[in-house]
Amino acid sequence: MKLIERSSYLNKMINVIGTPDIKVLTGVRRSGKSKLLEAFKSYVQNNIPHANIIHINFNLSKFDALKEYKTLNAYIEDAYVDGTNNFILIDEIQMCHNFELCINNLHATEMYDIYITGSNAFLLSSDLATLFTGRTFEIKVYPFSFAEYVQYFELTDRYAAFDRYMLEGGMSGSYLYREPEDRFDYIENVFDTLILRDIRQKYKIKNPALMDRIAQFLMDNVSNLTSARSITDTLTLNKDKINHKTVGNYLAYLCNAFAFYKFRRYDIKGKKYLTTNDKYYLSDHTFRYAKLGTKNMDSGRVIENIVAMELLRRGYEVYVGVLYKKEIDFVALKRSEKIYIQVSDNIALPETFRREVDPLLKINDAYPNMVIARTRNLEYQYEGVRIVDVADWLLNK
């Protein structure tokens, strides 16, 4: 498979070399965590003289004997070389029983620089502080961005490239397949056999068919306001015997596995977070096509999903804005920075343009605001609102 340098992630790993943190790569299955670990290994080999790298990939059968924490700990201690920088790189750490006992012991010795990846449902962001007694540094890995997609295929026409990306997405393993149906089969397999399987194993799900229906409901309602109760009501009409507490748990499991990301609502005028009706976005929009088909592509929702994930890649904390009963698609926060964003497929019609711009014009603060749409034109401004083509915005950080 062709590889590209995912420099934003690699630089994060390089910048924390020598810190006492346990570095943890998290993200949805097949998003490239293993390849990043290999790229980091190459960097260390080429740039840090006399480094001792202890690399264990539990996907390989030759490491089967290390799937018990005491054996793993003994193997690593035996591989330690005094007087050098000792790096521990472990892929799919959850395949070692009680792995946290080994990692915590090795970390306590202050003799190793530790980098690990794990299955999404077994190495959750919310669990890191509980699992590990030392400080962790989380590196969140996402499927290929549009910029990485363009780099991978060496594309020059950004607007045509974006149309392709909307259909092909960021699950780079699918790029090896020539036929669209084969690509979607691969993506569906990733979702069903890897993501949902992890969830079933972790939480001992007794009704996997219900989990699948909830996932499909969320895919079909990407960018719509959703709650556990509304999903329960819909599925009850289809004769599913469930309650909203069970649905709420399943929603949390899907988000824990990085299949979906939940965006809460934020009252812009009242400056408070709202507790009802959230929005859910897919880690990669092509999961929707693979599971539901491409007959009803709904480009507006797909573009909104792509923008949502890009904001997360860029390190923003993202909310859905509410102002005078109007909705702002995204309120993106990063330290003292705040951006209000509306997303649309096509704003060529005057009424569509006004619908997107008017809520932004009603915001009474000095923070920047913008409309991101498929304009295929250079950026311009309308009464202080930036109007930006989605492909241009995705390529220009």
Using alpha carbons, list the distances in angstroms from residue 101 to 71, 94, 104: 12, 12, 5
Strand partners, 91: 57
Asked if 37 and 89 touch (Cβ cutoff 8 Å), the reply is yes
Res 397 pLDDT > 70: no
pLDDT digits (tens, 9 = 90+) for 203-233: 888 888 888 999 999 999 999 999 998 899 8
Tell me the C-alpha distance between 264 and 83, whole Å: 50
Predicted TM-score of the model (pTM): 0.93
Tell me the C-alpha distance between 86 and 354, whole Å: 59
Going along the chain from its start, the domains and CATH numbers come out as 7-140 (3.40.50.300), 146-395 (no CATH)
What pLDDT sits at residue 282? 97
Tell me the C-alpha distance between 345 and 329, whole Å: 13
Dihedrals phi, psi of 41, to nearest 5 degrees: -60, -45
Positive/negative CA dihedral, 321, 281, 39, 96? positive
Asked if 284 and 303 touch (Cβ cutoff 8 Å), the reply is no
Tell me the C-alpha distance between 87 and 106, whole Å: 11
pLDDT digits (tens, 9 = 90+) for 49-92: 999 999 999 999 999 999 999 999 999 999 999 999 999 999 99
What pLDDT sits at residue 200? 87
Find the largest Cα–Cα distance for the chain. Answer: 70
Confidence of residue 303 (pLDDT cuts 50, 70, 90): very high
- Kindly give the interhelix angle for 146-153 and 158-168, rounded to the nearest 10 degrees: 110
